[in-house]
Structure 1
Amino acid sequence: MPGAWVWGVTPPMRKAFTKRDNSNNLPKMSTEEAVPEEYLRVDIVLDVDYKDVVRQPTGEGRQGAHQEVNQALIKFKGLGYEDVVWMKPPREEDTERWTDFKAAYDDWVMGFFIRQPIQKDLRSHLVQMRKQDFEKSLVMKKQPESLTGGEMMGYQMDGLNWLYYQWYKQQNAILADEMGLGKTIQVIGFLAALKQVHGCWPFLVVVPNSTCPNWRREIKTWAPSLRVVTYFGAAEARKLTYKYELFPQRH
């Protein structure tokens, strides 16, 4: 409906969440009230433009070069890929926003150093591994070291080892815990274990579109050393993901 119509039929609602300027009787909101904080928090860095174009860092020189960034192509936490924008990094005084930017920048740099394991060597390793006794040699007594976002409960470790065993036996499996018992965390722990113990990866996690952001958030919270790329949404979103995240070395 036209904005004028909405304005005319919603006076009770407007009174509930707007402030009025007595001088002109118009709604008055501060920037902080009008713009949600998550719209200002960096989620993903897709590309970077450095201050010194001639001597811009390359390779390992990109690591720790947060201060050298002139502007970055940024996706914000509360917005989709259609709202990515080039902008300057947050100021260091804005501690939480700066921390988010640093984490996203480090994740962007990590993309240049990700190399898939050599398939021949990995297959050979897995053949030898599956000749071992699972209970004696492979069962996880404690959660993977790369799982740093919290401590898994005992029953969650049981679930992790059960998934691990099904993978060891090369059998399909369904983890059917009740809602709220941490199936996502158990799966993340399982992925972290395969990466840590066997150098086995990458992984394809297929989930409903609506849960993709949550899966990425949970993986980055619990196992921040795992690089996560969400490939979903409209064509433009998938195009940006492919170009800047899945294969950044091609850009």
Structure 2
Amino acid sequence: MTATLASPARDDRAAVDKAISLLVALGDRAGGGMGVSELARRARLSKSTAFRVLGLLERNGVVERVGTDYRLGERLHHLGRSVYAPESEGVRDRLLPFLADLYEASRETVHLAVLDGSHVIYLAKLYGHRPAPVPSRIGGRLPAHATAVGKVLLAYDSDAAEQALSRPLERYTAHTIADPGDLAAELNRIRRTGVAFDHAEYQPGLACVAAPVLGRGGRAVAALSVAGRQGRIDTERLGARARLVAAEASRAWSRQVQRAYLA
């Protein structure tokens, strides 16, 4: 009897399902990008299939290649912005002056972000004078539990926090908070102090500090943050400044809501 080699199991998933699996994998590392081997592993595809599907996505502008890595493409970010445009544009337009204030006070890279499930979406970004390994992109998404803006938004949104604590927390660096109990304790600390820190929890070498813009009922409408190279920026000093600017933004937001209510 002639022995035969076992052939690999056939992947009967539709092409669109394979493409979505790759996009979801890229979304988990939206700022930094990933190579074909890691993407194939996360999407549970063969490397050759992943490479072929990524080529199709790249030709359609929803994925772009940077060296040997892939990341979400600009076309996908434009589509994403259109989904969140009605509410998020209003938040961005009203809070952008306060983001500018925070930039003037820090001269570092600053962000305005909102919460979307277990991720944050960056509505605006102003680049600092000094280079830093900041992976954020306007319209891009990053995991809430591994970012300063995400943690401060979770801290002031009990429903979102409960959902985040009920799911597995992915570890991105050695400093990522991946234990639900540790994250719950961190969110409690943030509520006490009004500021969140990120010391290389998503991106090695990156430090961030964030404060919430609060609306009615003390729920976070958005968050403002400052980011820079770890060891170079003074997060404690910038945290105090971020709190002041975010408090001014919160008061302005409440006045705007009150005027709209009375109109």
Instruction: Tell me if TM exceeds 0.5.
Output: no
Q: What's the TM-score once normalised by structure 1's chain length?
A: 0.29
Relative to total residues, which structure has the larger strand share, 1 or 2?
A: 2
Q: What's the TM-score once normalised by structure 2's chain length?
A: 0.28
Structure having the higher Rg: 1
